[in-house]
């Protein structure tokens, strides 16, 4: 009986609540804690398309004022957007992408490529993207930062980085041996 209670407590400890996802030593989980909500990604899409003002975001997205305010505040809190006053009387603000926000461009481009390929209802992409420097249509491609070859999942192997090596060392010192990366993330 005591052993099964311990297993239940262990399972409860290992289960991460959504509002604690930012505490995992996993770059995907921490990123999702900021941008993992659908309205947030649509706000970012519109920001990359040039939308800056609250009313325009609301008009484009059809989102409630309350929800939009929450999402914009979170993006400002995490320095993805910066709030800049453009009018004094009455005070009015616009939202601009920061360097941290601009760094999300490849993420959105990957979602566009995936949606164009898998969610197009057989009608093709809703927008085509053109590289202004060469004038050619483009699509997002993840490539190796060293050799430039396109990346395929079967040709990429994760290995422990500094944050998880610390966790692995701690667990090993406590007598635990965890082989799977997913288990290390859960214990972090």
Given this model, what pLDDT does residue 5 score? 44
Given this model, what pLDDT does residue 175 score? 78
> Is the per-residue pLDDT at 84 higher than 90?
yes
Given this model, what pLDDT does residue 160 score? 81
Given this model, what pLDDT does residue 180 score? 66
Question: For residues 68 and 70, what is the distance between their CA atoms, to the nearest angstrom?
Answer: 5
Question: For residues 45 and 19, what is the distance between their CA atoms, to the nearest angstrom?
Answer: 24
What is the pTM assigned to this prediction?
0.80
Phi, psi of 110 (to 5 degrees): -65, -40
Q: How confident is the model at residue 183 (pLDDT cuts 50, 70, 90)?
A: low
Q: Provide the β-strand partners of residue 96.
A: 82
Question: For residues 140 and 111, what is the distance between their CA atoms, to the nearest angstrom?
Answer: 9
Name the residue with tokens 């398309």: 49
Q: What is the mean pLDDT of the chain?
A: 85
- For the chain, the domains span 17-103, 104-156, 158-188
Structure tokens at 64: 């409630």
> Is the per-residue pLDDT at 4 higher than 50?
no
- Which value, in Å, is the radius of gyration of the alpha carbons in the chain? 21
Q: How confident is the model at residue 13 (pLDDT cuts 50, 70, 90)?
A: very low
CATH topology of domain 17-103: Arc Repressor Mutant, subunit A (1.10.10)
**pLDDT above 90: percentage of residues in the chain:** 59
> Is the per-residue pLDDT at 9 higher than 70?
no
Given this model, what pLDDT does residue 27 score? 85
């Amino acid at each position: 009986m005591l052993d099964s209670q311990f297993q239940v407590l262990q399972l409860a400890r290992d289960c991460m609540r959504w509002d604690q996802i930012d505490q995992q030593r996993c770059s995907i989980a921490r990123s999702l804690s900021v941008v993992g909500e659908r309205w947030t990604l649509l706000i970012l899409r519109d920001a990359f398309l040039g939308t800056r003002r609250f009313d325009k975001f609301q008009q484009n997205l059809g989102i409630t004022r309350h929800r939009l305010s929450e999402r914009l505040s979170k993006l400002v809190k995490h320095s993805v957007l910066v709030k800049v006053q453009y009018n004094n009387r009455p005070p009015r603000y616009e939202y601009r992408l920061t360097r941290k926000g601009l760094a999300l461009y490849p993420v959105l481009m990957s979602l566009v490529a995936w949606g164009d390929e898998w969610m197009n209802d057989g009608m093709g992409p809703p927008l085509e993207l053109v590289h202004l420097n060469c004038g050619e249509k483009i699509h997002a491609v993840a490539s190796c930062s060293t050799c430039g070859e396109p990346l395929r999942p079967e040709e990429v192997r994760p290995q422990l980085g500094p944050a998880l090596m610390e966790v692995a060392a701690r667990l090993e010192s406590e007598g635990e041996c965890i082989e799977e990366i997913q288990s290390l993330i859960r214990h972090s």
